[in-house]
Every structure is written in structure tokens, then in C-alpha cells.
Chain A
Amino acid sequence: MSNGRHIGDVILDLQNISLRFGGVKALTDISFNVREHEIRAIIGPNGAGKSSMLNVINGVYHPQEGTIVFHGRKRHDMNTHEAALQGIGRTFQNIALFKGMSVLDNLMTGRNLKIKSNFLQQAFYWGPTRREELEQRSKVEGIIDFLEIEHIRKTPVGRLPYGLQKRVELGRALAMEPTLLLLDEPMAGMNVEEKQDMCRFILDVNDQFGTTIVLIEHDMGVVMDISDRVVVLDYGKKIADGTPDEVRGNQEVIDAYLGVAH
């Protein structure tokens, strides 16, 4: 479903990625690519290696084999700092917010990389610090408006209900102004209404900011609805890759899902 968006060239190309934890093969020889502005879904049964794949893309895990080409640069693996600098944002399957901080501070932290002043300038609140903080604040307020969370701005995130925490985590990733956004089950554990909201936000991000999105999701309805292309993993191997319609009709995919008791 590409609503008039222009899907561009390949910006991320994963080639023959293999990742092991001791004897456990989390990913085996996986290749796929992601095009600019598209919504790319990764699906598969539990333990298929979906989260591991995202962790490889932004450098939390380092694959034993394979090549990652991001924006034309070839490397064996990524590191988290570089991934962040290159504009890769991320949310986690298990909410990973900064529990002791307010919503506002969580989002502000998402913009830490944009801050150029050093800790001494900050200690004196001198020179660029005040200006920078205000700049970041107004950017963050834009995201707060976008996600409709004005009312909880100053609330410590630990006190928020689950659905809102997921939304704040999306906000923190958006605060980085990512060009590539990795979302690990953004709608898990949500009720229908919350899911609809989250879907709308994801589509809006993709549409308004042109952000490329790689999304893991278990809800097939959602996946088929919003993604441009889908890659299917099972036991760490890629079993299908294509448009939602192509994947839906694939016999191996049907078997993988039927073969796993949920």
C-alpha cells in the first residue's frame, strides 16, 4: 500500500548475515534489503530471529559472518554510536524507557546527539547551552504534539500505562529525527484502539517525514495492511520475501505458521 509515496533506492542491504550465540544459531545466511521511504516488515514465529535482526542492523549485536551496506558504505558490522549518528532510530520489544525520567526528559534525551556544547558549558549554562536546550525543547514539543501526549509531558514514564509507554518510546526514537526507524513489535499488548492509533502514527511518520521503517509485528492484519514488502524468518532462516500478497500465498510461510503452536 504505497499511498503515492515515492519508494527510492536501496539504502540498507544485508548480505549473508549469520549470527550465533554459542551453539544457538539465531540467524543463518540472511540477505534482504530495505528501500528508501518504504515500510518493510519482518515477520516469523517466536524465536525466529526477528529481534536479533534489528539488533544487527543498529549494532547491538555483531554478526559472525556477512556484510552490511548502509547508504553505500560497506561494513562487516555496525556499532550503536555510529548507527545513531547515521540516523537509525529504534524502539524495543520490551519497553526500554528511562524509568526515572519524565516524558519530556526521555524525548529530550533522544536529542542528546544534536547537542554540541560540552559539560563545562552546561555547568555554567553558558554560551550555546541555553540556546541549544531551547532549540531541542521546541523540536521535542513538536513530537509531543504529533503523538498527542501533551497532557503527560511532565509525568515520570514509570507511572504511565503500557500503551502510552510504547507511544513515548516511539517519541524518543522520533526525537532523533531518524531516516531509518526500527520498530520491534510496537503494537504488542495493545487493545484495538491503541493499535489503530499506533498504526496511524507509523503511517504518518512514514508519510510526513519520509522515514524508512523496518517493523516487526505479529498482528498479520496490521502487517498486510501497512507494509510495502515483507520478509519472513523461521528458525533463523529467511523463508520468503516479497509483497504482502506474494508472502501470503507462499506455501512455506503457511507451513511455518501452522507448524508452530501459538
Chain B
Amino acid sequence: MLYREAGQFKASYREDQQIFPIRQDKIAIALILAFFYLVVPVIGDQYWLKAILVPVLIFSLAALGLNILTGYAGQLSLGTAAFMAAGAFGAFNFMLRMPDFPVFSEVKILFAFIFGGLMAALVGIVFGLPSLRIKGFYLAVATLAAQFFVVWALTKFSWFSNYSSSGVISAQDVVLFGVPIDTPESRYLFVLVIVTVLALLAKNMVRSATGRAWMAVRDMDVAAEVIGIRLLHTKLLAFAVSSFYCGVAGALYAFCYLGTVEPEGFNLDMSFRILFMIIIGGVGSVLGSFLGAAFIVLLPIFLNVFFHAVFAGAVPAGLGSNLELMIFGGLIIFFLIVEPHGLARLWQIGKEKLRLWPFPH
């Protein structure tokens, strides 16, 4: 009976409308935040921060973006990586071309990320326009067009990459209030703050009228229209907000993770990886975006360690990565068939069990 809401009587709708109405959830969130903000930077070694936690956070943000569009608003997209590319190149060009002046240059990098997000949102809106007419599979094909078009345009028009060969860009240094963000610890914290803030904003959106409109359009568009929800407006807003999130994730990917990126890096493969993250993590769940990203980034690492420990070199080199793909595919089929709401749902079920524990009913 550790996890119970019984006995916590809500005296007002205000209490019931809070972001985390159940006390145990509040405590859990506080503990998780404390762990990632205070404990991890101290105990995490450089490799973990740089090569695992930063990409997990960045992919969580991209998955959250896709989840807003696909999970909440019900519009399937295969263009996630393209929106990330728009964000990365948008931020790069903002840093490159925007003149410096006092005060502004202290926080220029933040504006660059916002600008990258806005550029991605613009691309998202343009490629979201067909969503008024087409749904599901056909819409996915339209977003696939975004995927190929954006990568093609960024490679073809070298203005975007400041005339570098094959569109490769090197992200400018990240400096905030004159302090360079260049150590693994500071980068991790920088990314963590941005991702936490954006996740909080997303959570607020999905629990208020905007989110209800998205879900209404997802679940029954005729009924939504009859209530007065404008379909095009609602869908385009979902495309814009979703792409903004993906764009910021793309900018972080370039500026705080890889440093050097090329358009080809944001390929269809990456779009699919992020789609798999929300399928495994949980479609239509903010938490699921994080679980899915962590799972997919960590899985190959664990499998690698596992193979080494168990077979100690007895496995031929190629087999390991093939096994990894097979396990990956199997898991995706498992989640699609058995638990379409992913890890987040399993977590929910776990909580419901805990609510009754130790009594079976």
C-alpha cells in the first residue's frame, strides 16, 4: 500500500487539476529530478555523460516532439530527422549570420536554438498542410517527402552550410553569459535544463485545451469538428509545436553532442529510430518519450556488454550486431502487438498493482 491515492481527498478541483495530482507522483518526480540534477553530474563519469546521457536526453526531446504529433494529435510522421536537420542548420546559420551586440550576445545561443526550432516549425507547417486532406499511411508518405526534400535542399544549396563541402557544418562554441559550456558536466546540465523545461511545457499543453483538441482530432475528427475544433488549425499547430521540439533537439544534437554534422546524418534511418522510441516508450505519453529514448540508446550498449561477458569473444564480430538487430525487431513487434502503449503503460500497470499491494484485489 505504498502507492495509494485513497485518503488523499481533493478538497477542490484546483488540487485535482494539478500537474501531478497524486502525492507519490510528486515525490517521485522530485526524487528523479534531484537524482539527475544533483547526483548524476557528481557520480557520472565523462563517458557516461558525453556518450550516453546527453544523446538520451536529446533523443528524448525529439521523441517527445514526434509524440506530440503522432501520439497526441494522431498524425503519423516519418520526417522527424528532417525537422531536426532544419533546427540544426537554422541554429548554425543564426550563430553565423546574426551580428553580435551587447547583452544579446550573452544569450545568443539560446536565441539560436529558438530560431532553429522556429525554422523547423515552419518546415513542419508546410509539410503538414496535406494533413487536412490525407490521413494515416498517405500522410506518412507526405512527411517522407519532407524527409528527402530537406536533406536534399541542405546538401544542394551550400549557402545553408556556409559553402562547406557536402554540407558539413561545425557547430559554433556554446557560450552562455560568457561562460563556455564545453565540459561534459556543463553540457549535460545545459541539455538537461532545456529538455526539462520543454518537457514541462509539453506536459502543460497536453493537459489543457490544446492537448484535448489534439486528442479529439486523433480519436474522432468529425466529432471534434462538431464541437467547434478547427481541424486544419489544430493539426498545423501540432505540426508546428512538434517540429519546434524536433528542431531544438536537432540543434542540441549538433551543438552539444556531435559538434560536426552533415545533412545526410539526419536520414530516414534516424526518423525511424525516433519512431521506434515512441512505439517502445509509449505512444501518447510524455514519460514514454524518455523511456523509449533511453531504451533504444542503451540497448546496444547493454547487449554489447552482455555478449562480451557471456561469450567472451567466442561470438564472431558480425553476429553481435545482427543479434542486436533481431532483438530490436522482435521488441518492436512485441510492443506493437502486445502493448501498443509501450513501457509507459507497463509502468502504469505496475503502479496500479502497487496501489492494491499487498492485497490482490
- Please determine whether chains A and B interact with each other in the same assembly: yes
* Given the contacts A60-B225, A90-B226, A96-B220, A138 and B13 also touching, CB distance less than 8 Å: yes
Please state if B219 and A101 are interface contacts (CB–CB under 8 Å). yes
A133 CA / B212 CA spacing, docked (Å) = 12
Chain B residue nearest in CB terms to A118: B210
A60 CA / B220 CA spacing, docked (Å) = 14
A28 CA / B84 CA spacing, docked (Å) = 54
Chain A residue numbers with a CB within 8 Å of B218 are 98, 100
Residue A33, interface by CB 8 Å = no
Other-chain residue from B213, B215, B224 in contact with A100 (beta carbon distance below 8 A): B215
Please state if A84 and B208 are interface contacts (CB–CB under 8 Å). no
A112 CA / B225 CA spacing, docked (Å) = 11
Chain A residue nearest in CB terms to B218: A100
Residue B223, interface by CB 8 Å = yes
Residue B299, interface by CB 8 Å = no
1/0 per residue, CB under 8 A from A, across B189-219: the answer is 0000000000001101100111011011011
28 of the cross-chain contacts (CB-CB < 8 Å) are A80-B225, A81-B228, A84-B228, A90-B226, A92-B223, A96-B223, A97-B219, A98-B215, A100-B219, A101-B212, A101-B216, A105-B212, A109-B216, A109-B224, A112-B229, A115-B208, A119-B241, A122-B208, A122-B209, A123-B201, A124-B204, A129-B208, A133-B208, A134-B13, A134-B17, A137-B17, A172-B227, A176-B228
Residue A110, interface by CB 8 Å = yes
Residue B342, interface by CB 8 Å = no
Instruction: Please count how many residues in chain B sit with their CB below 8 Å of the partner chain's CB atoms.
Output: 31
* Given the contacts A81-B228, A96-B220, A101 and B215 also touching, CB distance less than 8 Å: yes
Q: Which residues of A come within 8 Å of B, CB atoms? A: 58, 60, 80-81, 83-85, 90, 92, 96-101, 105, 108-110, 112-113, 115, 117, 119, 122-125, 129-130, 132-134, 137-138, 141, 172, 176
Other-chain residue from B204, B225, B227 in contact with A123 (beta carbon distance below 8 A): B204
**Residue in A60, A80, A83, A132 with the greatest tally of chain B CB atoms within 10 Å:** A80
Chain A residue numbers with a CB within 8 Å of B237 are 119
* Given the contacts A92-B223, A96-B222, A80 and B228 also touching, CB distance less than 8 Å: yes
Q: Name the prevailing secondary structure of the A interface residues.
A: helix
Other-chain residue from B19, B201, B230 in contact with A81 (beta carbon distance below 8 A): B230
Number of A-B contacts (CB under 8 A): 102
Chain A residue numbers with a CB within 8 Å of B224 are 98, 109
Residue B97, interface by CB 8 Å = no
**Residue in B218, B222, B226 with the greatest tally of chain A CB atoms within 10 Å:** B226
Residue B124, interface by CB 8 Å = no
1/0 per residue, CB under 8 A from A, across B10-36: the answer is 000110110100000000000000000
Chain B residue nearest in CB terms to A88: B226
Chain B residue numbers with a CB within 8 Å of A83 are 226
Please state if A112 and B227 are interface contacts (CB–CB under 8 Å). yes
Chain B residue numbers with a CB within 8 Å of A133 are 17, 208-209
Residue B284, interface by CB 8 Å = yes
Chain A residue nearest in CB terms to B208: A122
Apart from A119-B210, A129-B208, what 20 extra A-B contacts exist at CB < 8 Å?
Answer: A58-B226, A60-B226, A85-B228, A92-B222, A96-B220, A97-B223, A98-B223, A100-B215, A101-B212, A101-B215, A108-B209, A109-B215, A112-B227, A122-B210, A125-B204, A130-B17, A132-B209, A133-B209, A138-B13, A172-B227
* Given the contacts A98-B216, A134-B17, A124 and B201 also touching, CB distance less than 8 Å: yes
A36 CA / B224 CA spacing, docked (Å) = 26
Chain B residue numbers with a CB within 8 Å of A60 are 222, 225-226
Chain B residue numbers with a CB within 8 Å of A115 are 208-209
Please state if B201 and A109 are interface contacts (CB–CB under 8 Å). no
